[in-house]
Amino acid sequence: MKLTIFGTGYVGLVTGACLAEVGHDVLCVDVDEAKIAGLQQGEIPIYEPGLDVLVQRNHKLGRLDFTTDVRRGVEYATVQFIAVGTPPDEDGSADLQYLLTVAREIGRYMTGNRLVIDKSTVPVGTADKVRAAISAQLAERGLELPFDVVSNPEFLKEGAAIDDFMKPDRIVVGTENEQSRALMKKLYAPFNRSSDRMVYMDLRSAELTKYAANAMLATKISFMNEMANLAERLGADIEQVRRGIGSDPRIGYHFIYPGCGYGGSCFPKDVQALERTASEVGYDAPLLQAVERVNRKQKQKLYQRIEQYFAGDLAGKTFALWGLAFKPKTDDMREAPSRTLMEALWDAGACVRAYDPEAMEEARRIYGERDSLVLCSSAQEALSAADGLVICTEWSEFRAPDFRVILDRLSVPVIFDGRNLYDPELLSEQGIDYIAIGRSNWS
Smallest distance from ligand UGA to CB 122, Å: 12
Among 107, 259, 357, 424, binds ligand UGA (CB under 6 A): 259
Among 326, 395, 416, 434, binds ligand UGA (CB under 6 A): 326
Give φ, ψ of 5 to 5 degrees.
-125, 120
Residue 164 annotated in ligand binding = no
**SS3 state at 309:** helix
Residue 10 annotated in ligand binding = no
Residue 408 annotated in ligand binding = no
Contact call for residue 188 and ligand UGA (CB under 6 A): no
Q: How far apart are CA 50 and CA 37, in angstroms?
A: 20
The helix-helix angle for 10-21 and 51-60 (nearest 10°) equals 50
Q: How far apart are CA 160 and CA 260, in angstroms?
A: 21
Site string for ligand UGA, 219-238 (x = CB under 6 A): --x-----------------
- The stretch near ligand UGA (CB under 6 A) out of 109-117, 135-143, 193-201, 260-268 is 260-268
Contact call for residue 214 and ligand UGA (CB under 6 A): yes
* Among 262, 278, 296, 295, CA closest to 419: 262
Options 18, 28, 260, 266, the catalytic residue: 266
Q: How far apart are CA 207 and CA 120, in angstroms?
A: 10
**SS3 state at 82:** strand
* Among 145, 329, 149, 296, CA closest to 225: 296
Among 20, 130, 134, 156, binds ligand UGA (CB under 6 A): 156
Q: How far apart are CA 43 and CA 267, in angstroms?
A: 28
Among 104, 157, 197, 409, binds ligand UGA (CB under 6 A): 157
Give yes or no: 266 in active site: yes
Among 19, 217, 383, 389, binds ligand UGA (CB under 6 A): 217
* Among 283, 228, 215, CA closest to 258: 228
Residue ranges of the annotated binding site are: 30, 35, 86, 121, 155-158, 210, 255-259, 263, 269, 327, 334
Q: Which residues are designated catalytic?
A: 266
Which residue ranges make up the site for ligand UGA (CB under 6 A)?
121, 154-158, 214, 217, 221, 255-257, 259, 262-264, 266-267, 326-327
